[in-house]
Structure 1
Amino acid sequence: MQLISGFSRFLRSGWLKPVTPALVAAVFAIAPHQGGTQSLFSPAIRVNQDIVTWYELEQRLQFLNVLGLPGDNEADVRDALIDEKLRKQVMRDAGVQATPEAVQLGIDEFAARGQLSSEQFLKLLGDAGVDPETVRDYVADQLAWRDYISSRYLSQARPTEDEIDRALGQTGGGGLQVLLSEIIIPVNPQTVAQTELLAEEISRLEGQDAFSAAAAQYSAAATRGQGGRLEWLNISNLPPALQPVILGLQTGEITDPITLPNAVALFQMRGLREVATGAPRISKLDYAAYYLPGGRSAETLSRAAKLKEEIDTCDDLYGIAKDQPAEVLDRVEAAPSEVPGDIAVELAKLDRNEASATLTRNNGQTLLFLMLCNRTRDLGEDTSRGDVANALAQQRLQAFAASLVEQLRADAVITQE
């Protein structure tokens, strides 16, 4: 699983379309190609003056299978190889290629993530029928394409100081928003080890469908019914410590498991955008926490749902808690950096006077009914300008790369056997 994780994260770091992997790697032989009477080295696809041989096609299918990626969709693999040939043609004309040293470093990095030497890693693939040159070509294409796109478009992709200000919401004229999916898994002392293993497995998933399926099965958040999908959020609403983590994600990438009080969280990036409306930063959060005995039992969750319908503002909770011990209700005003991580994450999803019943306390025995009372905004800079600038540049580079490949396809002569 370590090996699969390392490759999955590399795939997510590039500009290729992600392919959804299985949780468990399966090595199996692929069926003979449809042109079985032809030579393995005869053309399966012609892309302008270049060809993709049946051997290349079958090697790529087997390579994806060894990595735990679906290998039974030949159409997707054909599309990926066509794009690869188009990229190579452009890079060849520009004289761009990855050096042998860079390719070897890339392979070394993969092997190290799987706790293997490069020799062990290539032997593992070789035993499954994957030629080392298939691996080297794949890595070389990823590295060279990244360098080519950066050299060609980075000057256009770099945001201006005004654009960074807008993304941070510091001018009142714009802001940066993220589209995330979430999985929140409750933890108690009896389930810590099991939950940590499950979270590691989920962090290795590829694709939005796989993550959404895991959210529907394992998440305790209210979004589980929507596959963990959140609406667009201002980056400034997220906890300060989480903002650079989220901004560092590529589209489709999943965070490492994030430890919260009584829970483990994972987030998947689905989108990033600049918006015209202002998104000022938050200097203070005002929230109410009402504690309900019974944890996440059906009875307690039903009580929390009914409570949401009965109250309109945080102040209404004082009437609900009347004649109960003082400790059942907390009203807190604090800077975002001072708010417990799990509470800060939930508050980021709420509008004023909205409530959440996702979190627990007392080792899962108490349900936390959380309500956002108010946000006080200012022009603080908890998220570094460098984080925002890099996120904007990477987003634009990916868009430039996708547009270039689309144009290359439109101009190419492509025939398939």
Structure 2
Amino acid sequence: MKNKLANRLRPLLLGAVLLGGLAHAEVRPIDRVVAIVDNDVIMQSQLDQRLREVQQTIAKRGASLPPENVLSQQVLERLIIENIQLQIGDRSGIRIADEELNQAIEAIAQRNGMSVDQFRAALSSDGLSYEDARDQVRREMVISRVRQRRVAERIQVTDQEVQNFLASDMGKLQLSEEFRLANILIPVPEGSSPSTIQSAERQAQELYQQLRQGADFAQLAISRSAGETALEGGEIGWRKAAQLPPPFDGMISALQVGEVTEPVRTPGGFILLKLLDKRGGETQVRDEVHVRHILLKPSEIRSEADTRRLAERLYERIQSGEDFGELAKAFSEDPGSALNGGDLNWIDPNALVPEFREVMAQTPAGKLSKPFKSPYGWHVLEVLGRRATDSSEQFREQQAMNILRNRKYDEELQAWLRQIRDEAYVETKL
């Protein structure tokens, strides 16, 4: 560590000597170390750059800035945590190729409705360097992969936890069917006379008959409804049955998409609901793929390039006739499938990371993929079959598993960050 720090600091010390020998030269500020973090350092220039970015973000939100010394300490602490994770990534052999980084930058630009050139111009207008932004994206990608490896493996969700969640009121609400609805309201003012109520009911019944005969719901809502969303064709968005007042909570489940309820008297008047669409619920038919794979992970003793070459050699050996299952048992570093010859069994593609899912989708049944990279490492996969299956119960269990894992991830992440911070050597100079 001392040698590394000495190498990092030598240019700064040399600059100080030169400045000291030029008594009449212009004095310029020298970059300095503001924190030592294990085997690395954080420089004042890094802190200043991040401070500018944070200050601009806060200003855009219209919020007031905290005192500069408070903000500096908060930003420095964030840089320290990031630095620790980046060092873990470096020791684990995590590297972000330029091609991956370019794709990530392009995706960020697209999400903001820009081309890459427009994105660069926008950064420049905010006083930010494209190269600095690119470096920050690379750092965030490394940190994301470190967390996937180190935090995800700490999370355990038991079958009993899944079943308890499914049986709870919260679980039933979160996993229940959703309905996209529109309404028409014929108002009945409070304290209305019986004749006024009867008149409103007749109007509602007339509208209901027109709708049954094919009238356009949106047009009638615009012209006749007193509801808040009348000008949007009466559309009120997605709702779960449990979020609707009686008797609509029971009526809506019996409707087919496109159907309308009969007028129902509510405190505000007579309401007609139309079911525009629905999603979720009990019946789930999904595509599944039977796949097996070999996973190879870069490490401290095997570089990214060596890992890729090993994946290519295994691919060639399988192509030459060697048994996929035996090679998976011998080489795969996926603990969940290696002992089964790499077999992942029938799996929902949506449960997989995008890189794996895309290659699997492009690989015909009975064929082998060329080696490819995902956040977990290098893979070779073979598609054994495809099917469509009604897996409503399994789907609900997987949804519950994902919800519970996401809940636990946030807790585990914070615990892990505290752990690595406590275990690291940190000396601040601020």
TM over 0.5: no
Q: TM-score, normalised by structure 1?
A: 0.43
Determine which structure has more spread, i.e. the larger CA radius of gyration: 2
More helix by share: 2
